[in-house]
């Protein structure tokens, strides 16, 4: 099971396992805490290898965290869903050692498209780190 946390998912176990097998998330220390229909939540501790040249959390790491919950939430319906756009507003930078929490929520779902809002905050004090809007194209292909 990914990242040592017991899944609190309400998905079929094979789908949950498929979505949790996310190599980049593992490489960045992202723990997927929960996947439900149209919803996902994950955490990432800002580590030395996820900093940028200025010594704060790299925007790429923050966006990777956001993209991970976006992917989990949008694929939770069991159909292959491909990101088509992702817009990030950066609100503050995570500092070394801080735990960032990202939550993805479904705003809109049609046969071919779905749109999600992702909020990233610092776990300890609730400070907003980034706000994201993102969309998928939904293929007919079923996932495991």
Residues that bind a second copy (CB under 8 A): 18-28, 48-54, 58-61, 63-68, 71, 75, 80, 82-91, 93, 107-108, 112-113, 115, 117, 128, 131, 133, 135, 137
- The minimum distance between CB 4 and a second copy, in angstroms, equals 18
- Report the residue number, 21 or 124, with the smaller CB distance to a second copy: 21
- Report the residue number, 66 or 103, with the smaller CB distance to a second copy: 66
Contact 100, 123 (CB under 8 A): yes
- The minimum distance between CB 49 and a second copy, in angstroms, equals 4
Q: Tokens standing for 64? A: 């990777």
- The minimum distance between CB 71 and a second copy, in angstroms, equals 6
Could you tell me which of 115, 116, 112, 114 has the C-alpha nearest to residue 139? 112
Provide the CB-side half-sphere exposure for 61 (13 A, CA).
Answer: 29
Contact 57, 120 (CB under 8 A): no
């Amino acid at each position: 099971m990914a990242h040592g946390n017991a899944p609190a998912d309400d998905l079929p176990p094979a789908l949950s396992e498929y979505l949790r097998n996310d190599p980049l998330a593992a490489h960045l220390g992202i723990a997927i805490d929960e996947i439900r229909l149209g919803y996902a939540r994950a955490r990432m501790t800002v580590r030395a290898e996820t900093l940028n040249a200025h010594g704060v959390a790299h925007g790429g790491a923050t966006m990777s965290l956001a993209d991970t919950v976006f992917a989990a939430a949008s694929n939770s319906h069991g159909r292959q869903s491909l990101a088509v756009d992702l817009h990030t507003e950066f609100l503050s930078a995570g500092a070394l050692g801080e735990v960032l929490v990202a939550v993805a929520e479904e705003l809109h779902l049609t046969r071919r498209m779905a749109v999600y809002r992702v909020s990233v905050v610092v776990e300890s004090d609730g400070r907003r780190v980034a706000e994201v809007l993102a969309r998928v194209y939904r293929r007919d292909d079923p996932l495991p």
